[in-house]
Amino acid sequence: MSAPAPGAARGLVRRAWGAALLDADVYEEVEADRGATGQAFAVVLLAALAAGIGSVSNGGVRGIVWSALFSLFGWYVWAWTTWWIGTRLLPGPETSADTGELLRTIGFSSAPGILRMLALFDPLAGPIFLLCTLWMLAGMVVAVRQALDYSSTLRALAVCAIGFPIYAAILVVTLLLLGPWPL
């Protein structure tokens, strides 16, 4: 396996920055680029590792690993759930999407989560996690709007609002089946 080209890393950083800035054009770009799934995976993984590092005092090294695995699984479940709701329950007149498009756009909506590593500093931990979570949710709404070709942000927000309890239930069941810290 060869190392990625230097331009690929710059492209990943540019896209992650644009996604964090809620730039709809960046979300459109990653939606259309089937080769960007690996980059989306990298953004989700970096955000998960950052969250694990930010909460290392609670979970230790095992928590970092568990955070990464849980986030990657959750990313796939969320993309599939959002695709199903957006294309089956609430499609718009222009809606045309596959799960890959949602994996890519939703993956990039995790970009603000990379800042969660700053939660290492105790007095800031709570506010940092809250700010990053809200920022990621805003990115997710933009990601869903662009991936599902909606003209309405309200429709994208509805898809996220309907899908989140389903996503959360699946993750809770997974936690119950696996138990805490399965590693």
Q: Do 149 and 96 meet the contact criterion of CB atoms below 8 Å apart? A: yes
Residue 129 is predicted with a pLDDT of: 87
- Which pLDDT score is estimated for 60? 77
> Is residue 85 one of the residues assigned to a domain?
yes
Under a CB-based contact definition with an 8 Å cutoff, are residues 79 and 102 in contact?
A: yes
Residue 90 lies in a domain: yes
Query: Does residue 115 lie in a domain region?
Result: yes
Residue 129 lies in a domain: yes
Per-residue pLDDT of the chain (183 residues; tens, 9 = 90+): 444 555 677 899 999 999 999 999 999 999 999 999 999 999 999 999 998 888 777 777 877 888 788 889 889 999 999 999 999 999 999 999 999 999 999 999 999 999 999 988 888 888 998 999 899 999 999 999 999 999 999 999 999 999 988 878 876 776 666 555 444
Asked if the structure places residue 1 within a domain, the reply is no
> What DSSP line would sit under 108-127, residue for residue?
HTTGGGGGGGGGGSGGGHHH
Say what the pLDDT of residue 167 is: 79
Residue 60 lies inside a defined structural domain of this protein = yes
Evaluate whether 29 touches 53 at the Cβ level (below 8 Å).
Answer: no
Domain ranges, residue 164: 6-178
Write down the pTM of the prediction.
Answer: 0.88
User: What are the φ/ψ torsions at residue 93 (nearest 5 degrees)?
Assistant: -65, -25
Other Cβ atoms within 10 Å of 76 Cβ, number: 16
Q: Cα separation of 152 and 147, whole Å? A: 12
Q: What pLDDT score was predicted for residue 177?
A: 65
* Residue 94: CB atoms within 10 Å: 9
Structural tokens at position 144:
């869903």
Within a domain: 153: yes
Total domains in the chain come to: 1
Q: Tell me, what's the pLDDT at 2?
A: 45
122 is a domain residue: yes
Rounded alpha-carbon distances, angstroms, from residue 146 to 7, 74, 104, 143, 166: 25, 20, 11, 5, 21
Q: Among 28, 23, 37, 20, which Cα is nearest to 114's?
A: 20
Structure tokens at 13: 């950083």
